[in-house]
Structure 1
Amino acid sequence: MKKPDTLDDLPTNLSSNEHFQSVVERAVSRRGFLKSGLGLSAVTFLSGSLAACTSDDDTPVAGTPTAGTPPAPAPAAGPLLGFAAVATSSGDAIVVPAGYSAQIFTPWGSPLFSDSPAWRADGTNTGEEQARQVGDNHDGMSYFPIDGSNEGLLVMNHEYCNYEYLFGAEFMTPWTADKVSKALNAHGVSVLHVKKNGAGRWEVHIGSPYNRRITGKTPMTLTGPAAGDALLRTTADPSGLNVLGTLNNCANGKTLWNTYLTCEENFNGYFATAASPAPTRSAAFVRYGISAGGSGYRWHEHEDRFDYAKEPNEANRFGWVVEINPFEPGSTPKKRTALGRFKHENAEMRLAADKRVVVYMGDDQANDYIYKFVSDGVFDASRGLANGNLLDAGKLYVAKFDAGAASGDFMGVGEWLLLDKAANPTLAADARFATQAEVLIHARLAADAVGATKMDRPEWITTHPQTGEVYCALTNNSGRTTTDEANPRAQNRYGQIVRWREAGDDAAAMTFEWDLFVLAGNPVAYPDRQDLRSGSANVSADNTFNSPDGIGFDGAGRLWIQTDGNFSNSGDYAGQGNNQMLVADPESKEIRRFLVGPSGCEITGLAFSPDYRTMFINVQHPGEAGSHPRAPDASMRGSLSMDEYLAQNPLAFSQWPEAGGGRPRSATVVITKDDGGVVGS
């Protein structure tokens, strides 16, 4: 979930830790599925019956509660997937199945308050005005009921902003403090009081006391073991306890006590320095991707806190999971440091067997890791919001996958490695970590040290509402260059979804067994390749996709898969069209395409009303150049960069969501079934 022309996908992990692909190769070889001399890959094993997480001898156990999934309505008779799949599209519209409707909702710049200024189609709203409007580049979100499925709070992230559209034709010249202010205010979170009107359409209750904008300037508090540490202190905040703002809010989570978790991902891109020469970066700065050069955001030119030569600790105050109480507009968001600092994708909460709280998290960068947090205390529903303190005391772990003997059809086993200065001898002996606070602030370095498994960009993590199995989208890793019989495609251009079952079906277990749910691929581009280019057996020409990103279950156990990948519709990606949303049946492994987005977008965000008759999804960055098939080359642009070209021609790639509306805008889409039924049924 990032702008395609950034460097955030480039790995900063230079450790010698084993990569997950090597583990897969060993697992396939160990199980005897690889026939010597036949040139077959892991997909051969998967082509018969994709590895099931429950063997024939096992009786499924009901999963413990997950925070983001309300109870399912009574299941209807018939198949889990009850809609007709849609075809790919390279158009500039939302495509949904027959019998469904899609309502455009709350685009960037929409009003929240009675005094919210009107959105200007030429991009000339000021920084102060942006603070009173819905932010840009909608991402993860959750629905909090007020009146069941008819009224609630829709809380959504705003990950970043596209300057070519944010500022209009004049783009970045001149560069001013107000432009920095506008960009900061386009980030963060929006809390929207939403309700159905008499016609059954959703509306924002403008002026509701619940409505709120949380931005890159909003005061927040650091809590937990790292709060107040010397590495978190700045000139403006010598206590190391108070931060201004949350940035690059990617995906999200929902707690069991009805609060919202927003996750800070690519915070590194906001920090730079005007110093010449730039100071030598620390190993931690390098590992977290803070550049020695400039920043495309250019905030450091007007706000000293983003100049790391002037404020070397400010960057350490970002990269956290932030808890927000949407029902108290005056409450102070809390950055929960016990959950570790890295490029957080989402935060999936689940209860352990003994009612300790478990939070699964991915670090979205090539060759980085999967983590989980286990609280020291136990959840007690009667304590309400006081349960939030559970996120301040607990243990942080990182995953190590292995090809060892596994039961049933699992491909391998794994263990959770403790990131604790006092209890892990490896970290105790490592002079880089003087305290547990430093382990948490530099969680990536600690995970390197203990030998975690490198992954292909861990995106969203979700848990099955009935079985408790955990699924993680590994979106892609096009930088990987090694090839062998088990991995004939040198670059993992398409991505995969890995899943695991914790020992004893207990989220707090220290070991697990894993398999691959799907290997994305493209039988359209490679119809005759019996290898990973074509994907696993449940990928066909009818449902081909690349780069799974957002994933989540509904209450009936449908797995919704959203993509953020290459939309060139050519070469390796021929026939895949725009980014899309698919639905999978975890038992049969069937996958169908449910939705296709407009030109240049990412499909992200996933929330349901409690009755599952309304689905909310987000369309992020429509009109972004990226891999756009109509992107003009340098000979067509002349002296203009791509961003400069789009600033002057904002409708070149997309007019969504409003034809002739001035410029493309991220927006939420409300999806309902025309007969009033459960979405997906």
Structure 2
Amino acid sequence: MAPSRRLLPLLDRHRGRQGLTCRYKCGDACASPEPNTSSNGYFGDVLQTVLDRRGMLRAGAVLGLTAGAGAALSGTAAAAAPAPAHPLGADPAGPRPAPAAPPRGLAYDTVAPNLDDAVRVPPGYADNVVIRWGDPLFPDAPEFDFDNQTAAAQARQFGYNNDFCGILPIDGPGRRFVLYSNHEYTLEPLMFRDYDADAPTEEQIRIGMAAHGGGIVEVTRDARTGELRHDRAGTLNRRITADTEMVFDGPAAGAAVLRTTADPTGRAVRGMVGNCAGGTTPWGTFLSGEENFNGYFASGPVTDERAKRYGIAEGPSERKWENADPRWDLRREPNEANRFGWIVEIDPHDPSSKPVKHTALGRFKHEGATVTLTRDGRPVVYMGDDERFDYVYKFVSDKRMRRGTSRAAREHNATLLSSGTLYVAVFTGDSPPAEITGTGALPRDGRFDGGGQWKPLASTTRSFVPGMSVADVFVFTRLAADTLGATKMDRPEDVEPNPRTGRVYIACTNNSDRGKAGAKAAADEANPRNANQHGHVIELTETRDDPAAATFGWTILLVCGNPQDPSTYFGGFDKSQVSPITSPDNVAFDPYGNLWVATDSTQALEINDGLYGVVLEGPQRGSTRLFASVPVGAECCGPVVTEDFVLVSVQHPGDVDDASPAQPASHWPDGGAAQPRPAVVAIRHLKDGRPAKIGV
């Protein structure tokens, strides 16, 4: 590991996400009762039948495991006493053998964990800002002026809090691209001086609306330096906001619960909000997931259990949008909230096209949606519902993708996500329940693993959930999954297939409520740690390597946290040689099949968030290698990893306690006395002053 610029104590004292992000992103969801009050999700009874058949469970073994599960199991993560806390870089065990050379794609010197107000990259690498909040997207758009913002200007500038990032080439040599970015949410107290949260001005409200949604922008890559820069004159440039016209398609389009005064058809909708992660489709479009939409709505007393399951709460909204537009007040438009929480497909090649909300992919708090193809060319979309104790889903289309860019192919491919079957995951473990202690100690077989089933919820024409219609299943997907006994997970966020191996990786960010008294679910083999502050990563293998399969196997690759903590696990790799990692959020893959993980840590280890390369094959499997860290208070989002560059989205820089425009906690990216601005950053490798391949 490269020497640290300053040594930091690696602490497990959990301070929690900084208050503004918690408040404005998800309405302090982690401090509120989770919406999932169902009793499903524990697979001990199912497992018992399997174990009895295999003859693995004996009464004596159960008693022994119950008495000594914490540290007595040979081969478990808890087998050795925890090392004492020590500054990073000072190993009390003394010098260790040098690690083997990392695999192709991950050959860089790891970045030392830090708390710097800067993007830190390995020696031999450089970074530049591609585009930031407020940068003009059009030749006639005004330059950003923090103290003189307007809604009209923001609608023609790059939005706030960029998250998912996708990029597609628009010429052969790879020098021009079209980039898409989600603008997930706004932090008004950091956007405006003297902001009054109880009485924002109408202009502030409308600036916030315009700062949401997404941005499409052309970028160019300098062949000499490798830098990526946005082109404000690009003909594909476009802003999508909370007011942009969109359409519904799929089996729930036109349903009564989607109809409003402004849209009696239930087929037209304005805007998207809370757009977190997403995906890039094989047919050249971008998918964007609406996540924490519930906090945008004012409501009277909430008596509908369906609304409660989605986190709708009584009272005014955080941003008071209802003061400027009545559709954000559920007392006046009770169905408006049902029109959010969808996967939105955006065609970056046609600025005049309307984004499409695909009801066939279900409605929940979508972190994102990533696509692979079956052997016969049908799209399969993997999705996570980012809430404590919610679920993992996949959708299998009933249509085949057509290759090419002809008009006929494009029109056909625009319907691929309109019909098919939606499934939810049920995980089962292969170890006796008594061996899953909630401490992170591995069971006797040396790993957390098992199998599972994709349970069908509905197809375009048939509901598989008793008492629910097809439209009900797709609009109230959480309740349908509750009914079928889906496994409660620890905030499943990004769910992505590895394009080289087909194995699917699930980032479970964290769940401090796992195992708490009351109605909280206890640890199980797929979520093996109670009070799971640091999260874990699951590796899922579809049966017969068929993404349309109804069954799967799985194993946990990482149980994250301080490597000195005995509850952590790094694929069996030597924990003295890994980078500390907490709260995995987004994942990506490089051209060599390595996993890359971006973190949203809430400073649970009191280190800045970052992007980590993770070895998946060979003797270094499970090794985590910090590639880049982001500035103080920021979250690392939306990674894209190519041979030539890496993109990361730096979200909410400077969001630390007591920060304000009068006393900003960060001045990144502009430096000096500037206000912090979320931005997309490109990282490149240089050898002898010339661009080189990433990680080689």
Question: TM-score with structure 2 length normalisation?
Answer: 0.82
Cα distance in 1, alignment partners of residues 186 and 178 from structure 2 = 23
Matches within 5 A, 1:207-286: 207-273=233-299, 278-286=300-308
Q: Does 1:14 align with 2:40?
A: no
Trace 1:624-639 onto structure 2 (pairs within 5 A).
624-625=655-656, 631=657
Which residue does 1:579 correspond to in 2? 609
Contact residue 42 and residue 524 of structure 2 kept, 8 A: no
Distance in 1, Cα, partners of 2:645 & 2:460: 48
Which residues of structure 1 form unaligned runs of 5+?
A: 49-75, 626-630, 632-641
2:631 aligns with 598
Number of the residue aligned with 1:395: 421
Gap change, CA 1:221 and 1:39, over 3 Å in 2: same
What is the rounded CA distance, in whole Å, between the counterparts of 2:572 and 2:191 in structure 1? 40
Confirm or deny that 1:106 pairs with 2:121: no
The equivalent of 2:452 in structure 1 is 414
SS of aligned partner of 1:266: coil
Q: CA deviation at 1:481?
A: 3.1
Distance 1:139 1:613 in 2: 21
The separation in 2 between residues aligned to 1:3 and 1:78, in whole angstroms, is: 37
Q: Which residue of 1 aligns with 2:683?
A: 671
- Amino acid of the residue matched to residue 376 of structure 1? D
| One-letter amino acid of the counterpart of residue 479, structure 1 | D
8 Å Cα contact 1:605/1:617 also seen in 2:
yes
Q: 599, 606, 613: which one pairs with 1:563?
A: 599
1: CA distance, partners of 2:370 / 2:211: 25
> In the alignment, what sits opposite 2:372?
350
Residue correspondence of structure 1 range 193-592 to structure 2 within 5 A: 193-197=218-222, 199-200=224-225, 201-273=227-299, 278-382=300-404, 383-404=409-430, 411-420=449-458, 427=465, 429-430=466-467, 433=468, 435-482=469-516, 490-524=530-564, 526=565, 530-532=566-568, 537=573, 539-540=575-576, 542-567=578-603, 573=605, 576-587=606-617, 588-592=621-625
Residue identity matched to 2:512: S
Any idea what the Cα deviations from partners look like across 1:94-141, whole Å, max 9, x if unmatched? 11111100112211001111111111133x301111101000001001
Tell whether the 8 Å contact from 2:420 to 2:459 is kept in structure 1 after alignment: no
Once the two structures are superposed, residues 459-491 of structure 1 have per-residue CA deviations (whole angstroms, 9 ceiling, x without a partner) of 111112221000000000012234789999641
Alpha-carbon shift at residue 556 of structure 1 (Å): 0.6
Deviates more, 1:549-558 or 1:193-202: 193-202
Task: State whether residues 365 and 456 of structure 1, in contact with CA within 8 Å, keep that contact through their aligned partners in structure 2.
Answer: yes
8 Å contact kept, 2:276–2:288: yes
Shift of residue 679, structure 1, vs aligned partner: 1.4
Paired with 2:514 and 2:296, the residues of 1 have a C-alpha distance of 27
* Separation (CA, whole Å) in 1 of partners of 2:523 and 2:373: 40
**Residue type at the aligned position of 1:663:** Q
The C-alpha deviation readout for 1:29-52, integer Å capped at 9, x for no partner, is 99899973443479975659xxxx
Q: Deviations over 1:269-306 (max 9, x none)?
A: 10113xxxx24431111000011122211111221000
Match of residue 3, structure 1, among 21, 29, 47: 21
Q: Distance in 2 between matches of 1:314 and 1:423?
A: 25
Structure 2 CA distance for aligned equivalents of residues 291 and 159 of structure 1: 20
The CA distance in 2 between the partners of 1:394 and 1:680, in whole Å, is 39
C-alpha change, 1:410 and 1:519, in structure 2 (3 Å) is closer
Q: Secondary structure at the match of 1:3?
A: helix
Q: Deviations over 1:501-548 (max 9, x none)?
A: 111000000000111011002134x4xxx3359997554475111100
Q: Deviations over 1:641-673 (max 9, x none)?
A: x5xx62432x1x211112235311101111000
Aligned with residue 660 of structure 2, among 646, 653, 659: 646
The TM-score normalised by the length of structure 1 is: 0.84
CA contact (8 A) 2:421 2:460 kept: no
Distance 1:129-1:661 versus aligned 2 partners, 3 A rule? farther
Task: State the alpha-carbon separation in 1 of the partners of residues 43 and 616 from structure 2.
Answer: 22
Residues of 2 paired with 1:360 and 1:603: CA distance? 21
Number of matched pairs:
615
Structure-2 separation of matches of 1:149 and 1:28: 54
SS of the equivalent of 2:229 reads strand
Q: CA RMSD of the aligned region, Å?
A: 3.2
2:21 aligned counterpart, secondary structure = coil
CA distance in 1, matches of 2:174, 2:448: 39
Alignment gaps of 5+ in structure 2: 1-16, 79-100, 433-444, 517-521
* Local SS of the residue matching 2:660: helix
Alignment match, 2:121:
96
Question: Match of 1:615?
Answer: 646
Asked if the contact 1:361–1:372 (Cα under 8 Å) also holds between the matched residues in 2, the reply is yes
Please say if residues 419 and 460 of structure 2, whose CA atoms lie closer than 8 Å, have aligned partners that are also in contact: no
**3-state SS in 1 of match to 2:693:** coil
